[in-house]
Amino acid sequence: MKRRDFLKLAGAASLAGCATVTPAKARVVVVGGGYGGATAAKYIRLWDPAIDVVLVERDAQFISCPMSNLVLGGFTGMQDISRGYDGLRQRGVQVLRDEVTAIDAAKRSVRLASGSDLAYERLVVSPGVDFLFDEVEGYSAAMQSGNVLHAWKAGEQTTALRRRLESMADGGVYILSIPTAPYRCPPGPYERVSMVAAYFKQAKPRSKVLVLDANPDVTSKGPLFKRAWEDLYKGIIEYRGNVKVVAVQPGAVRTDFDTIRGDVLNVVPPHRAADIAAKSGLITTNNRWCDVDWRTMESKAVKGVHVLGDATLSAAGMPKSGSMANNHAKIAAAAIVELLNGRTPQPVKIINTCYSFVAEKEAIRVSSVHEWDGSTLQPVKGAGGVSAARSEAEATYAWNWARTIWADSLT
């Protein structure tokens, strides 16, 4: 119907003497320049250069969470996992270093921390996650005094955690506490302990890695991780399932039953869609996640706002990953271009691929394909799976994935 109206309009315009019909320019504002937001900004410009795109990002640089565990192992540097926003500027995206503090969906405008308002036709919100620090007693104070780190957003905490591992004496204990799923990057914690164990094995072999997992078992690529730990890090990594950390104190974490001593405390608190989603009414489920229409990524709560990435209420079998956020962005970009040109969006089939390093030069992988089933995105049965075994080939493809997706999202 809309499409027919648009064609009618187009016909009328050409009768009136216009040789070409250019759709009216519209402005899309994108909140957040991570895997989701950067990709959305780029692909809207790529698929319809007549649309103005403004990306609002509070940091000067993109720092990738994927591959940041290699920094903890000492196998790559922060500069290797950081990228600038000039590539998007060259695509005609206006990149503002600022922060969106409020969304007025009725007026279709956002408020910036710098004070001004920005109007939009369509808004993309790709804010990532914020932590529920209050769910772990003593966390905020311990974090401020440097006694606990999450390093679950790549950046200063990644560097700080690496320094703590370096300064820890041989024979020390590193504790990683994993929150109950869903959390950002399901295999990320297991990759992290592999990287820390690889470093200990090399540099301080009497040290231990203690994994306290609130989940009953390894949540992603379980057999592959456990095989690597058995083969490579026996006697270094100890894994305990169903152990939920409820409090932190200097030099120890507490569960409901025990106090467990550690020299480096890496407690990842539970998280939810980031604050801007919470205060804009975008959170729909369990006070944590944002439900969306998977044909368009449009919020089920707020019209005209498309939510991407880790902030979404994940569809079945869909991890909170960089690959997924990049693919969410392409669904949103395709839908927004269709809508702003008076056409009806079509569902888009998407792919997830997540690599995890288990040693400096060996990796494992999980993949899936997701398609619209009439009401949501579902994994395609019979497609996807995990690596046959850890390998150097997977590690080569992992670095290819990283460099290529950074370019796909940011240049």
Partner 1 sequence: MIRTVLFAALLAASSVHAQENGRNLAAGCAICHGTQGKPAPGAPLIPLAGLPRDHIASQMRAFRDGQRPATVMHQIAKGYSDAQIEAIAAWFAAQPR
Q: Which two tokens stand for residue 186?
A: 């399901």
Q: CB neighbours of 301 closer than 8 A, spacing ≥ 6? A: 281, 282, 283, 284, 290, 291
Q: Which is nearer to partner 1, 148 or 405 (CB)?
A: 405
| Inter-axis angle of helices 322-340 and 392-410, nearest 10 | 30
Q: How far is the CB of 396 from partner 1 (least distance, A)?
A: 6
Phi and psi based region of residue 325 (left: phi greater than 0; alpha: psi -120 to 50; beta: remaining): alpha
What is the chain's Cα-based Rg?
Answer: 23
CB of 331 to partner 1, least distance (A): 8
Which residue has 């975008």 as its token pair?
Answer: 282
- Beta strands at 252-254 and 259-261: parallel, antiparallel or unpaired: antiparallel
As a whole number of angstroms, the distance between CA 372 and CA 350 comes to 9
Q: How far is CA 245 from the centre of its chain?
A: 23
Smallest separation (angstroms) from partner 1 to the CB of 346:
7
Residues contacting residue 104 through CB under 8 Å, at least 6 positions apart: 110, 111
Q: Which is nearer to partner 1, 211 or 366 (CB)?
A: 366
Question: In the complex with partner 1, which residue's Cβ is closer, 58 or 349?
Answer: 349
Question: Residue 34 CA to chain centroid, in angstroms?
Answer: 7
β-bridge pairing 305-307 and 264-267 = unpaired
Q: Which is nearer to partner 1, 233 or 355 (CB)?
A: 355
The H-or-E segment that residue 100 falls in is strand 100-104
- Residues 368, 375: Cα–Cα separation, whole Å: 19
Residue number, 42 or 162, with CB nearest to partner 1: 42
Nearer to partner 1, 96 or 395 (CB): 395
In whole angstroms, how close is the CB of 369 to partner 1 at the nearest point? Answer: 3
Torsion, Cα of 225, 230, 234, 239 (10° steps): 50
Q: Which is nearer to partner 1, 284 or 323 (CB)?
A: 323
**Shortest approach of partner 1 to residue 349 CB, angstroms?**
6
For partner 1, the closer of residues 50 and 383 by Cβ is 383
CB of 239 to partner 1, least distance (A): 27
CB of 367 to partner 1, least distance (A): 5
Residues β-bridged to residue 29: 54, 123
Phi, psi of 219 (to 5 degrees): -85, -15
Select from 76, 83, 92, 78 the least CA-distant residue to 154: 78
Give exposure, 244-269, as e/b (b: 16+ Cβ within 10 Å): bbebbeeeebbbeeeebebbbbbbbb
Residue type, 367: S
Site residues for partner 1 per CB under 8 A: 42-43, 46-47, 323, 326-327, 330, 334, 346, 348-351, 353, 365, 367-369, 371, 380, 382-385, 387, 391, 393-394, 396-397, 400-401, 403-408, 411
Polymer length of the chain: 411
Task: Compute the least distance from the CB of residue 363 to partner 1, in Å.
Answer: 10
CB of 263 to partner 1, least distance (A): 38
Nearer to partner 1, 43 or 120 (CB): 43
